[in-house]
Amino acid sequence: MHHYFQYLRTYLIIKRKQLLNAFSFSKSKSYIPFVILSEPRSGSTMLHTYLNSHTQIKSYGEVLRENIEANAIATETAPYIESLAFKPHATALKAIGLKLFYEYYEDARYSNSFNYVINRKDVKIIYLIRRDILKVYVSLKIAQKTNVWSSIKSAENEPRPKIAIDRNDYIQFREEHLRHRRLFVTLLKDHPLLEVAYEDLVQNPQPVLKSIQQFLGVKPKALFTLLKQQNPGSVESMITNYDEVKDIV
């Protein structure tokens, strides 16, 4: 029953914001623009849903990727992000944003939108990292294997998927991941930026969410999400050949 009421509450908050936007006679760009920047499998969808439970925050999630793929866009001729997210909104909405992944920066389909964000120094960056890079890698491989990218069901009592790690593939992934982190710290050094760790968001969400809401200039509220952590437990239990690769992890 609790789960049903949480779902209904989420639906009503999101629907109210959609109706406000659709029927508002007063729209502007006076809101705080923001981006959730992260690597896949670092909690960006969880954070996106948390933020959307606030009545004054609108997070568009992966709207950029969804529209570019749906319209088979090979190269952006203009920053698509502006018409999809950073457009006029109802004045009741105080913070508007979306998700961007590291990999978009080097993809021609997203280059104009990514550079648009880099050049707009007023865009606030929620820089979401996951400290445990191995867990990022394992979570990504499990999602690719199962084709389950998010879930509202607890995984506590579910059978745990397992994978074998390719040593060289993981080393390459880790090096690329760290390169991206260094790159974006440099590219976004002039932006207002708040670094958030996935581990902190999962273990003690409300203090982390309060700091994010303050960063976005809205009155902090207790936020909620229906999503559950998909791969709880030790990373060793998810790797079938852990003994062969433990020296690199």
CA distances for 107 relative to 24, 102, 114, 118, 174, angstroms: 36, 10, 10, 15, 19
Average confidence (pLDDT) over 161-187: 92
Range with the poorest average pLDDT among 56-60, 133-137, 150-154, 207-211: 150-154
Instruction: List domains and CATH numbers for the chain.
Output: 2-248 (3.40.50.300)
| pLDDT over 90 (residue 75) | no
pLDDT-based confidence at residue 247 (cuts at 50, 70, 90) = confident
| pLDDT over 90 (residue 154) | no
Write the secondary structure of 152-173 as one string of H (helix), E (strand) and C (coil): CCCCCCCCCCCECCCHHHHHHH
- Say if residue 64 is exposed, middle or buried (CB neighbours under 10 Å; 0-12, 13-18, 19+): buried
Tens of pLDDT along 80-98? 899 999 999 999 999 999 9
CA angle 96, 212, 20 (to 5 degrees): 30
CA distances for 87 relative to 28, 106, 150, 153, 225, angstroms: 8, 24, 28, 35, 26
- 125: amino acid identity, one letter: I
| Cα–Cα distance measured from residue 208 to residue 203, given in angstroms and rounded to the nearest whole number | 10
pLDDT-based confidence at residue 249 (cuts at 50, 70, 90) = low
More confident residue, 224 or 244: 224
CA distances for 99 relative to 47, 48, 170, 249, angstroms: 10, 8, 25, 28
Q: Which two tokens stand for residue 218?
A: 């809205």
| pLDDT over 60 (residue 116) | yes
- Rounded mean pLDDT of the chain? 88
Tens of pLDDT along 19-48? 888 888 889 999 999 999 999 989 999 999
- 95: amino acid identity, one letter: A
| pTM for this predicted structure | 0.89
- Say if residue 134 is exposed, middle or buried (CB neighbours under 10 Å; 0-12, 13-18, 19+): buried
pLDDT-based confidence at residue 129 (cuts at 50, 70, 90) = very high
Average confidence (pLDDT) over 107-121: 92
| pLDDT over 60 (residue 215) | yes
Q: What integer pLDDT is reported at residue 234 of this predicted model?
A: 81
State residue 58 phi and psi, 5-degree precision: -120, 115
More confident residue, 93 or 79: 93
